[in-house]
A and B are shown apart, each in its own frame.
Chain A
Amino acid sequence: MTRTRTPGISRRSTLALMGAGAMSVAAPWVARAQAKTIKIGMPTILSGRVAQLGTSSRNAVMLEVDKVNAAGGLAGRQIEMVIRDSKGQPQEAARVARELVNTDGCEWLIDGEASSGSFAVHEVARDLGVLCVHTCSEASSLTADPKQHIPNAFRCVRQGIHDSIVGGSYAASISKAKGLKKWATCSPDYAYGRDTTGEFTLYLKRFAPDVEIISESWPKLFQPDYTEVVTKILQAKPQALYSCLWGGDLTSYIDQANIYAMFGQMEVFAVNMADYTALTVVKNLPKGIHSGNRYIKSFPTTPENAAWGDAYKAKYNEYPTNWSWQNATAVMFLAEAAKKANSTDGKKIAEVLKGLTIKCPFGTDGTVTMRGDDHTLVGYAIGWGTTIPQEPYVPEVKAGDWKTIFELEAEWKKSKGYT
């Protein structure tokens, strides 16, 4: 007796069909699980006096995230940014950061907070063990102080101490060339103003020992009227003035000092001048103000940097700020680390980030490095130049020397008891 195949669908093909059916139903799920987006949380300041800086941080992050997503994402996962306002309040920053991780399921944090807010988010990162990159806080102690150190937090920001060393050496060279011995200072009366001015004068005197500070003014933060400060400085008749006023304070100060023709009577060193938020707002920008670079399209003088500034302007119809390049750099670091680790696991990324050098339009030599021992950004473009009243505003910037910065920074750390 021979067995003949019954016509119709066999058991085997039924099974095959069922399998195929199951696959076709499941395939999108499987695919989705593999391409599941990675959420990155970002508390930053989107309301209040410094909202412009927070918004520029968000813009820069989105500019870079779009590029990463277009190129396939982080280890195959598309990035979804969850960006929320902290109002510049530390308790709100801590709450938002916790909410982003605990409720919204963010796997990493980009901390777009300044000053106290960044320390509050740092504590959240310590508590939750989540990978965190600080992108706006310039306070040196955030990474220099070993008490602050945690393995999962990094700082992708310029630092107060680096600025002071470069500013001090630049000012000293101008001082020597022009014989500027009598100096005055005028800085906002809070920790940043006092610390930065103290460090600047320390390095100025180190490089030019015969400099003498003959007048100090400490206007309040967000002070509307600077008349008494301007007249006090004019009466003291210094040959040079240092100021770390910033943003609206700096522009008000310059507008008011212009009335007294102050800028013709002394050399002015304003570390925060070369930022588009200040340069484009001052009514009559005096020629020849010395300033450190914050973000300026003309420094570093590379086509990559200029192209980045133009792309930002094309998309958002305004120029980037100092916070913008720092946030963009953070995304570049994370993307490169994910590529190297071929993973989005926070711990693995943190391991790769240590000592990682990446190509970057904002580096002195086209690269920047996340220093391994204190998790902080080095090698970024840092320098000083003088202003002109129209674009490019600061045509030539003299770059700072990172070798000197490293030497003096190590000395400074020792003096603070950090090493």
Chain B
Amino acid sequence: MTELEAGRADRLAPVRSVAVLQRYRDVLIALVAFAVLASLPLFTGSKALLDFVIRCSAYGLFATSLNLLVGYTGLTSFGHGMFFGLGAYSFGLIMQKLGLPIPVAFVATLAITALIAAVIGAICVRLKEIYFAFVTLAFQMLIHSTILSWASFTGGDQGLRGGIPRPAFLGINLANHVHLYIASCALLVLGLLAMRQIAQSPFGYTLRMIRDNAARASFLGIDVWRVKLTVFVLAALFASMGGMVMALFVSGAYPEFAYWTISGEGIFINMLGGVSTFLGPMVGTVLLLLLNDTVTRFTEYHGIVLGVVILFFALGLRKGLLDFVAEWFSHRHDAGEGR
């Protein structure tokens, strides 16, 4: 080891140990979160609450994966919903037509999504800003139209009918509501933990650098195109997981899952929760679903209420809820230290 290398190693050692500590902390938080969620059915018999958490898992995975693109890499995708739909359809079709065990279908769906995301991503990530947004939207509409027109295979606009078979595996029976609930929680926690690791890894910091100054990253020897493509595929995988949870919840897959409105909801969630913190989209998901479920109970003019809420966030707070809270805390912290 040269003197120079030894010096660098010395300087990096504390950084690495902090990173390791942080990872342990994240794993611990994930375990506690899972334990709390999984023990919920012991305390409450409310099926509606369990349904709510299952839907939060589906949308939460989807919205957080979108934030990997929007918040961390600065790639505003308007077509991310295509992978949500792709996940639901691939999983549903594999289960209906091939009858494979659920874990195999799960992995196969991820493989299919990765392949398609790689092809679409290879074309899209070369583009910037509005061009990227619109080409992703165009691909989404292509997939949506394919689902509609290929009626013999996908069921067209009526979706995958007849229910998705859910054979038991390893003692887990996803046809049972509580089992499905715990499996969804596990997927959510694992998915979030994996995305958190991606965001906190050197790769995650490369994403932030590309977002802030792609030219600079390029001068530092980073293959920007490859990094963007990688994160595009990774985000697609988690969105696809969200789609699978949704397909299991409704026991079917419908063209609406791949429509642009799902992408719109993802962006809406990110706006509500905030994009500068990792858990922002998760908070946004809970907020949106809570709002949706309560408002639709009382009025069919939910559009107006949601519109007002979005206006409040966009014009009033000018950021997502968690961004606002985080900023408020740091201000208080600074004030406390007399700065």
Which residues of A are at the interface with B, using a C-beta cutoff of 8 A? Answer: 46-47, 51, 84-85, 87, 89-92, 94-96, 98-99, 102-103, 115-116, 119-120, 122-123, 126-127, 139, 141, 145, 147-148, 190-192, 194
| B158 adjacent to chain A (CB < 8 Å) | yes
Q: Flag if B300 contacts A85 (CB, 8 Å).
A: yes
Q: Flag if A190 contacts B159 (CB, 8 Å).
A: no
CB nearest to A51 among chain B residues:
B300
Counting chain B residues whose Cβ lies within 8 A of the other chain, the interface size class is 20 to 34
Q: Give bound CA distance, A118 to B47, whole Å.
A: 22
| B62 adjacent to chain A (CB < 8 Å) | no
Q: Flag if B296 contacts A191 (CB, 8 Å).
A: no
Q: Flag if B46 contacts A119 (CB, 8 Å).
A: no
Q: Flag if B158 contacts A139 (CB, 8 Å).
A: yes
Of B67-75, B252-260, B276-284, the one contacting chain A is B252-260
Across the A-B interface, the 8 shortest Cβ-Cβ residue pairs: A191-B156, A46-B300, A102-B47, A90-B254, A103-B48, A123-B251, A94-B250, A85-B300
Q: Flag if A116 contacts B300 (CB, 8 Å).
A: no
Q: Which residues of A contact B148 (CB under 8 A)?
A: 190-191
**Smallest beta-carbon distance B33→chain A, Å:** 23
B234-284 contacts to A (CB < 8 Å) = 246, 249-252, 254-257, 261
| B19 adjacent to chain A (CB < 8 Å) | no
**Smallest beta-carbon distance B307→chain A, Å:** 13
22 contacts between A and B (CB under 8 A): A51-B300, A87-B302, A90-B252, A94-B250, A102-B51, A103-B46, A103-B47, A103-B48, A115-B158, A116-B157, A116-B256, A119-B159, A119-B252, A123-B163, A123-B251, A123-B252, A126-B251, A145-B162, A147-B162, A190-B157, A191-B151, A194-B151
- Assess A148 versus B162: contact at CB under 8 Å? Given A91-B246, A102-B48, A116-B256: yes
A-side interface mostly: helix
Q: Give bound CA distance, A102 to B181, whole Å.
A: 15
Which of B156, B159, B303 is in CB contact (< 8 Å) with A90?
A: B159
Beyond the given A90-B256, A123-B250, A141-B161, please list 17 additional residue pairs across the A-B interface where CB-CB is below 8 A: A84-B296, A87-B302, A91-B249, A91-B254, A91-B256, A99-B293, A102-B48, A119-B158, A119-B254, A120-B250, A123-B252, A126-B163, A139-B158, A190-B148, A190-B156, A191-B148, A191-B156
**Smallest beta-carbon distance B94→chain A, Å:** 17
Q: Which residues of B contact A47 (CB under 8 A)?
A: 300-303
Q: Which residues of B contact A127 (CB under 8 A)?
A: 251
Q: Flag if A91 contacts B250 (CB, 8 Å).
A: yes
Q: Flag if A148 contacts B48 (CB, 8 Å).
A: no
**Smallest beta-carbon distance B219→chain A, Å:** 46
Instruction: Give the interface centre of B246, B255, B300 by most chain A CB atoms within 10 Å.
Output: B300
Q: Which residues of B contact A99 (CB under 8 A)?
A: 48, 51, 293
CB nearest to A48 among chain B residues:
B303
Q: Give bound CA distance, A123 to B166, whole Å.
A: 13
**Smallest beta-carbon distance A39→chain B, Å:** 14
Q: Flag if A145 contacts B293 (CB, 8 Å).
A: no
